[in-house]
Amino acid sequence: MSAGYTPAADARTAASLLLLRDGAGGLEVLMLRRAERDGDLRSGAVVFPGGVLDVRDRAAHAHCLGSDDAAMSARLGLAAGGLDYAVAAVRETFEEVGLLLVDGSADAAALRDWRPRLQAGHAGIAEMCQALGLRLDLRGLAYLSHWLTPPGLPKRFDTRFFAVAAPPGQVAQADMGEALELMWLTPAQALDPARALKLLPVTRRTLQDLALHASAAAALQAIAAAREVPLTMPRRGLGARGPRVVLPDEWAWAEIGRLDPEGRGDVWAEMRHGVPVRLSPRVIRVTAPNPGVMTGPGTNSYLVGSGEPGAAWTAIDPGPADAGHVQALMAAAPGPIERILVTHTHRDHSPAAALLAAATGAPVQGRRPAHAPGQDETFAPARELAHGERIVLGAGATLRVVHTPGHASNHLCFLLDEEKLLFTGDHVMQGSTVVINPPDGDMAAYLHSLHALQGEDLDWLAPGHGFLVAQPQRVLRGLVAHRLAREAKVRAALAAGAAPLAQLVPRAYDDVPAERHGIAARSLLAHLLKLQAEGAARLEGETWHGA
C-alpha cells in the first residue's frame, strides 16, 4: 500500500490481535466476552483482544523484534507510526487475556504484577520491557485487515487487525474487567446460531474468512501472502428489522454512501416496491413488485428531470403491465410526465409504457427489436431513438441515447450528462451477469457494447435491477473479463470433445448450480454462435465441434 492514509479525524485509532492455534476440531481462535456497559454498542459482544493505542506505545519501538516502524508503516499504508498499532495489539492482548508475545521466557510472577499497572495506565509497555529485559516478538505477526466503523456513530474506531500463532506454554486468563470470559472456538463454533454469541459485523466477517482455512499455519500463510489490505468501512442503513450495518460487498453500500455521507442512518438498505427513492434532485427511482430469478429485487423505473418546481419529468422503463406500479410511478412524479423512454422490450421493462401513455398522454420512445418473438408485443414507439441523439429535459438535465445491443438488439442506455449517470436497463445488472439469449441476444455485440461504454466518462450506473452502482469502469472491465473467462471455458469444453448443447452446459458452467443450467444454456449458445462466426466452432446437425 502507498503511505497515503490518514486516520479518520473523528475515530480513535485501535488495534486487535487474533491468536490462532490448532485444536481437535481444526483451527481455533481466542475470543473474549466484553463486559456489560450501559450505552456501549459493544457491550457483551464476543470479540478478539484489542483496544485503542496509547501514546506510550511508541516508546516500545526499541523493544520490538521482527519489524521496525518504517517497515510496519509501509505495510499499513502510513507515513509513520505503523509500529504503534502492532505494539498496541500486543499490549492490549496482554492486558485483557494475559498472553504476551516475547522473545524467550519471562517471569510469570513479575508479569502478573505489571498487568494491572498497564491496565490502569500507571505504566507503559516500554517501561515493563525495560524493567524485565523483554523484547516484544513481532516476527510471526501477520497484518490481516483494516476496519473503520461507520460515520454517524457517537464512537468511531479506526482499527488494524493482526493475526499470530498463540504463544506456546502460556495460559490465557481473563482480566475480569474488559474480558469477562475467554473461549477458544473454531470459526464454525463461533458462528453457530445455537451458541447465540453477540458478534459485531467485523468479527462475523473475520470468522467467515478464517473458516476457509483448515489450520493456523494455513491461515497465517494466506494472511501474510496478501499484497494489499484495503480499508473496509461499513455504513449505517435501514432494514425491515430496523437500523443495521451495511458492509461494502452489499448492494446498497455505495448508494447509501451517495445519499447519506454523514451517516444519519436513514437510507434504506433494501428495495421497497412502490416507494420512491430520491437519488438526486434530478432522479427518482420506483421499483416494481416483480422480484424473481430473472428480475432480482424487481424492475427499476426512473423519473428524470431538471428538478425545477413544476417542471415536467421523463419516465425510463415503466416496467411490467402492473396498474399499481403505474399509479406509484405517477404519484412519485413531482410534475407532469412528458415522455416515456424504454431501454428494451423485454416484458419486465416495457409493457407498462402503454398504460402510462394512456394515463398521461406522454409519447413512448425507444426501438423495436430485430426479433420480436418472446418480447413485448404491445410496444409501439411514437418515435425510434437514434444512437447519440440528445434529449433535453430542462435546464441542466440532458439525456444522451447510447445504443448498446447485446442483451437485446434494441437495447438502449441513457446517459444523464450532468451527473455522469448511466441508466443501463439490463445491459449492466447489479450482482449478476445478464442472459444473452439468441437470436435477439448477441454475445459479440454485447462485448462490443461493453467496450464502447469504457470510452464514456461515467461516475455512476443506474441499473434496471438493484441499487446505484459506483466505479462504473471497474464494473465494465470486470464484465468483459468475466465473459472472456467464460468463453475460455466454452473453448475448453469443445476441446474435450464434440457434444450437443445440453452436454456442453455442465462442462462450461460447472461453477453454476444445476438448477440454473437451463438459463445458462441460452448464454452458452450465444458464446458458441460468436465462436462460430469467428471460425472457432462449428455446428454439425445438433453437435458442436471445436475448430
426: buried, middle or exposed (CB in 10 Å: 19+, 13-18, 0-12)?
buried
Q: Please tell me the number of Cα atoms within 13 Å of 124 on its side-chain side.
A: 16
Angle at 483 between CA 490 and CA 413, to 5 degrees: 140
Q: Alpha carbon of 295 to those of 41, 353, 364, 423, 462: distances in Å?
A: 37, 18, 23, 16, 15
Q: Which of 158, 317, 348, 426 is catalytic?
A: 348
Q: How far apart are CA 140 and CA 19, in angstroms?
A: 11
Return the residue matching grid coordinates 445440453.
502
Is 129 strand, coil or helix?
helix
- At 431 the pLDDT is 82
Q: How far apart are CA 298 and CA 320, in angstroms?
A: 10
* Per-position pLDDT tens, the chain of length 547: 456 899 989 999 999 999 999 999 999 999 999 988 776 767 899 999 999 999 999 999 999 999 999 999 999 999 999 999 999 999 999 999 999 999 988 888 899 999 999 999 999 999 999 999 999 999 999 999 999 999 999 899 999 999 999 999 999 999 998 889 999 999 999 999 999 999 999 999 999 999 999 999 999 999 999 989 999 999 999 999 999 999 999 999 999 999 999 999 999 999 999 999 999 999 999 999 999 988 999 999 999 999 999 899 999 999 999 999 999 999 999 999 999 999 999 999 999 999 999 999 999 999 999 999 999 999 999 999 999 999 999 999 999 999 999 999 999 999 999 999 999 999 999 988 899 999 999 999 999 999 999 999 999 999 999 999 999 999 999 999 999 999 999 999 999 999 999 999 999 999 999 999 999 999 999 999 999 999 999 999 999 999 8
- Closest by CA position to 344, among listed 405, 415, 283, 416: 405
What does the alpha-carbon distance between residue 99 and residue 30 come to, in Å, rounded to a whole number?
11
**Cell digits of residue 295:** 428480475
- Is 417 catalytic? The answer is no
Closest CA to 49 of 79, 92, 86: 92
C-alpha to C-alpha distance for 132 and 207, rounded to whole angstroms? 35
What does the pLDDT read at residue 4?
81
Cell of 173: 486468563
The owner of cell 487487525 is 161
Distance CA 253, CA 260 (A): 10
All 3 cell numbers of residue 426?
A: 439490463
Select from 477, 529, 485 the least CA-distant residue to 508: 485
The reported pTM is 0.92
**pLDDT of res. 39:** 65
Domains annotated for the chain, with CATH where assigned, are 11-233 (3.90.79.10), 234-270 (no CATH), 279-470 (3.60.15.10), 481-546 (1.10.10.10)
Please state, in angstroms and rounded to a whole number, the distance separating the CA atoms of residues 280 and 102: 55
For 365, phi and psi rounded to 5 degrees? -130, 140
> SS3 string of 218-273?
HHHHHHHHCCCCCEECCEEEEECCEEEEECCCCCCHHHHHHHCCCCCCCCECCCCE
